[in-house]
Amino acid sequence: MPKKLLVAAVAEELAAFPAPLPGYNRLVTGPGKLNAAVLLSEALERAEYEEVLVVGTSGLVDADTEDDLEGRVFEVSAAVQHDVTDLDGVRGRHISLRERIELGHPGVVVATGDSFVDDAEEAAFIRSLGARLVDMETYAYAWVSQRRGVPIRVVRAVSDRAQDGATARWDEVVTTCSRWLWEYVAREGIVADAADAPSSGADDGHPR
C-alpha cells in the first residue's frame, strides 16, 4: 500500500508525473482553501500516510528584478494567509488560526488566499507579509496535515509574477511548470526511485 500522498490543486499540475507513481497515492483537491482542507482531510481519514507531498504552481511576489521565470522552483518553509483579518482589522491575521505555519523544511514563505492574484498592489501587500510566493491552498494543506500529525512538504513552481496578465500566463505555462516540478523532485531525491519512473498524465481537477 502506498505510504505517501502526492497532492495538487489541479490535474494539470501533475501532468508530467508518472501515473501511478510507486509508493504514492495521488489526490487532486480542486483550487482554494476549502477544497484543499476538505479533500485532504478526507484522504487522511481514509488511510494512514507517512508524508504529504504537495506540488503545484505559485505566483512570485518578491521584488526580484530577474525577468526570466524559466524553471524557477521553490520549496516552502512556512505558510501565511493574505486574505484574512483579525478583530482589529489587521490583514494577514486570523481571529483564531495561527498567523504562520512552519513546515519544518528550509525554503521560502508562501501566502495563501482564495483568489488568483494578478494585481501589482496586492502583490506588494503580500510581499509585506514576508512572502515570496502566493497560492490558493498551501496554508490549508499545512493546517490539515499538522492537525493530523502527518509531515508535509510543499514544492512550488513559479508560473507568473501575480500581476497583470497572470491568469492568461498560468493557462499557458501550467503543464510546463509540472515538468519543472517533476524534474526538481527527481533531481533532489524528494521522490524515491524517481529516475526509474516513466512520465505520464494526471487526474481531474484549476489554478493555484
The whole-angstrom separation of Cα 141 and Cα 149 is 12
CATH code (residue 184): 3.40.50.1580
What's the pLDDT score for residue 171? 78
Q: Is 206 a member of any domain? A: no
Residues 6, 53: contact at Cβ < 8 Å?
A: yes
In a domain, 201, yes or no: no
What pLDDT score does 117 carry? 78
Is 22 a domain residue?
yes
Residue 207 domain-assigned (yes or no): no
Residue type, 97: L
How large a percentage of the chain has pLDDT more than 90? 60
Residue 86 lies in a domain: yes
Query: Can you give the C-alpha Rg of the chain in angstroms?
Result: 16
Please check whether residue 203 lies inside any domain of the structure.
no
Residue 208 falls within a domain, yes or no?
no
pLDDT value of residue 114 = 86
- Domain containing 15 equals 4-196
pLDDT of residue 199: 44
As a whole number, mean pLDDT of residues 49-74 equals 84
Q: Judging by beta carbons within 10 Å of its beta carbon (0-12, 13-18, 19+), is residue 52 exposed, middle or buried?
A: buried
Q: Tell me how crowded residue 119 is: count the other CB atoms within 10 A of its CB.
A: 15
Task: Determine which of 52-66, 67-81, 113-127, 184-198 has the lowest per-residue pLDDT on average.
Answer: 184-198
- Of the pLDDT bands very low, low, confident and very high (cuts 50, 70, 90), residue 104 is very high
Read off the pLDDT of each residue in 8-24 and give the average, rounded to a whole number.
96
pLDDT score at 206? 36
CB 103 within 8 A of CB 77: yes
Q: Is 92 in contact with 109 (CB distance < 8 Å)? A: no
Q: Which residues pair with 91 in a beta bridge?
A: 85
User: Residue 170 falls within a domain, yes or no?
Assistant: yes
Tally of domains within the chain: 1
Range of lowest pLDDT (43-47, 112-116, 131-135, 163-167): 163-167
Give 38: exposed, middle or buried? Use CB within 10 Å, 0-12, 13-18, 19+: middle
Of residues 96 and 71, which shows the higher confidence score?
71
Does this model's pTM top 0.75? yes
Task: List the beta strands (DSSP E) in 51-142.
Answer: 51-60, 73-81, 100-102, 108-112, 133-135
The pLDDT score that the predictor gives to residue 14 is: 98
Q: What are the tens digits of pLDDT across the range 72-85? A: 899 999 999 986 66
Predicted confidence band at 145 (pLDDT cuts at 50, 70, 90)? Answer: very high
**Cell numbers placing 194:** 524517481
